[in-house]
Structure 1
Amino acid sequence: MMTNVAVTNGSSERQANPVLLALRRNRFSWIGIGLLLCIVLAAIFAPLIAPYDPLKQNILFRLAAPSADFWLGTDSYGRDVLSRLLYGARISLAIGFLSVLIAMIVGSTIGILAGYIGGLFDQIVMGIVDVMLSFPTLLLGLMVAAMLGASFENLIIAIAITEAAPFARVARAPTIAVKRRDFVEAGRSLGFTPLRIMGVHILPNILSDIVVVASLWMASAIRTEASLAFIGLGVQPPTPTWGGMIREGFENILSAWWLVVFPSLAILLTVLALNILGDALRDAIDPKTRSRG
């Protein structure tokens, strides 16, 4: 009896969530998870952590080097760089998350519809997607942001438009494969509507692929936001953003290096953490990788 229980427990562990088991084996992935968690917590608790008001100007401490009073120095208006960096994390992470969420919903819906319906509709939709993919992400985001204007909401829309096409391409391919499987055919024979088949039977089977792409493209969204802010099409000053801080500090890069270095490091660490997490999720979800592990 005890032997049977032990065997059952062992088999249940092996049949537990394969993604969690794969992440547990990949210790390097926990570096990305821990780093990203620290950045997110710093952004959430910025009002409690920030030593100064990020918008308060003090000309007496203009361009002060890193010291015990100002750990990361001050900018050309005497504002504390550390405080602006913490509050800027809120803007950058919010834009990255919301833009990717919108792109994931819109792009995945388009890809599933194109893959399920097929035929001429699929050819037209994928033709439009291919045209969008032919543009560099930054260039397409620059054009959309220039047309909509520089604001928090418009920046989210601009980045979401640039990233919807990859989600459509990723969602379409597995949809074509899944819709030919027996359980989908059984659903059709039972009279299930196409909307129910796509939402209940197809979407759960391709969701893992979409989530992996979302984690990777969120890093791209943060880079795009920083690039647009650097050229003046991001959230407008005095609201602190990492790209805006780099732009403001670029004029004094030779005399006040900290104005550019610390925001750049923040972007680097965030993108690195998201890429590590995305690669770990991809390896965990890929059945070929799991079988080798």
Structure 2
Amino acid sequence: MSAIAATMTSRPSPMWQALKKNRLSWVGLGLLAAIVLVALFAPWISPHDPLQQNIAYRLEGPSAEFWLGTDSYGRDVLSRLIYGTRVSLLVGFVAVLIAMLIGSTLGIIAGYVGGMVDRLIMGLVDVLLSFPTLLLGLMIAAMMGASLENLIIAIAITEIAPFVRVARAPTIALKQRDFVDAGRALGYGPMRLMRVHILPNMVSDVVVLGSLWMASAIRTEAALSFIGLGVPPPAATWGSMIREGFENILDAWWLTVFPSVAILLTVLALNLLGDALRDAIDPKTRSERA
């Protein structure tokens, strides 16, 4: 019996095997890990102070001293790009985490309770989905004002609806399963059934959606910062850097190109990782790859 147990313990899971076979997942994971390391070690790898102004070096192109050039205030673009990584990852992660917690909770409640509660929650979701994500974030950010906290809240609100739908659908199916009926027979209350029996069986779907929507959150943050509703200056954000470069696009191409490439790489890494996780948890996709 112990030998059988040891064999079962050491056997890799089908999800892990699917991830190992997907080379693009490792590309996304490696790229995302590099971006996270840049954000964590920004004070040590940044060659200059991102806020230090020096008009004498205004709008200088890439050189040995300033690898990615300088902006209209003489600030080092590379240093600001590195520190902007912190803002984008922080906003993306925290906003998605808030949306995931609220949306998953509402989705499980709607799917499990049903009836009027389900109709009320899904009616609210339909209202949120009737607005384009960027437009809804723009409206909320404009009403609340430009700050890091308000930006996170605005983006989180725009991303609650998808998590509600993703959590609700499996909840409706899971609440009819035998193990949930067995829990009811043992006298477990609805809160315990939702927390212990339903949530663990659908958390993988929510995590996959979170990785994909984190990319959307980073794009939304850059768009709101571009129009002045993001983190107030002089903080370095990719969206505000692109906005400044847009005003000098004919004379200083590097101001828009490098922040745009940073957004592209980050979104690409998250999408590759999210697609790989989605394929790994989908039994049909795993069987096709086998």
Does residue 102 of structure 2 align to residue 117 of structure 1? no
1:47 aligns with 2:43: yes
Query: How many Å separate the matches in 2 of 1:47 and 1:141?
Result: 31
Identity, in percent, stands at 71
Shift in Å, 1:18: 2.6
Hey, what does 2:286 align to over in structure 1? 290
1:30 equivalent in structure 2? 26
In the alignment, the residues of structure 1 paired with residue 256 and residue 223 of structure 2 have an alpha-carbon distance, to the nearest angstrom, of: 13
Residue 231, structure 1, aligned to residue 227, structure 2: yes
Structure 2: how far apart are the matches of 1:110 and 1:85?
37
Question: Which whole-Å deviations, capped at 9, do the CAs of 1:211-269 have from their partners, x for residues lacking one?
Answer: 00000000000000000000110001100000011111111011100000000000000
Equivalent residues in 2 for 1:1-293 (5 A)?
Answer: 15-292=11-288, 293=290
User: Counterparts of 1:149 and 1:11 in 2: how far apart (Å)?
Assistant: 55
Stretches of structure 1 lacking an aligned partner (at least 5 in a row): none
Cα distance between partner residues in 2 of 1:124 and 1:153: 28
How far 1:19 sits from its partner (Å)?
A: 2.3
Structure 1: which amino acid aligns with 2:144? L
CA distance in 2, matches of 1:195, 1:8: 33
Structure 1 counterpart of 2:234, which letter?
A: P
Alpha-carbon offset, residue 16 of structure 1: 2.4
1:64-89 per-residue CA deviation (whole Å, 9 max, x = no partner) reads: 10011000000000000000000000
Residues 100-121 of structure 1, C-alpha deviations (whole Å, 9 max, x = no match): 0000000000000000000111
Aligned counterparts of 2:29 and 2:211: Cα–Cα separation in 1: 11
Distance 1:189 1:11 in 2: 31
Distance in 2 (CA, whole Å) between partners of 1:17 and 1:58 is 56
Could you list the per-position Cα deviations for residues 168-198 of structure 1 after superposition, in whole angstroms to 9, with x for gaps in the alignment? 0100000000110000000011110111110
Question: C-alpha displacement at 1:20, in angstroms?
Answer: 1.9
Matches of 1:224 and 1:96 in 2, distance apart? 9
Which one-letter code corresponds to 2:131 in the other structure? F
Q: Matches of 1:10 and 1:182 in 2, distance apart?
A: 28
Q: Aligned partners of 1:92, 1:214: CA distance in 2, in Å?
A: 15
| Aligned AA (2:137) | G
Matched positions, count: 288
Q: What's the offset of the Cα at 1:8? A: 7.9
How far apart are the structure 2 equivalents of 1:17 and 1:106? 30
Coordinate RMSD, CA, aligned? 1.4
CA distance in 2, matches of 1:148, 1:283: 38
Q: Secondary structure at the match of 2:248?
A: coil
In the TM superposition, residue 10 of structure 1 has moved relative to its aligned partner by: 6.7
In the TM superposition, residue 17 of structure 1 has moved relative to its aligned partner by 2.8
Q: Quote how far apart the aligned CAs of 1:11 are.
A: 5.9
Deviations 1:9-40 (A, max 9, x none): 77655x42332221111112100000000000
Which letter does structure 1 place at the counterpart of 2:266? T
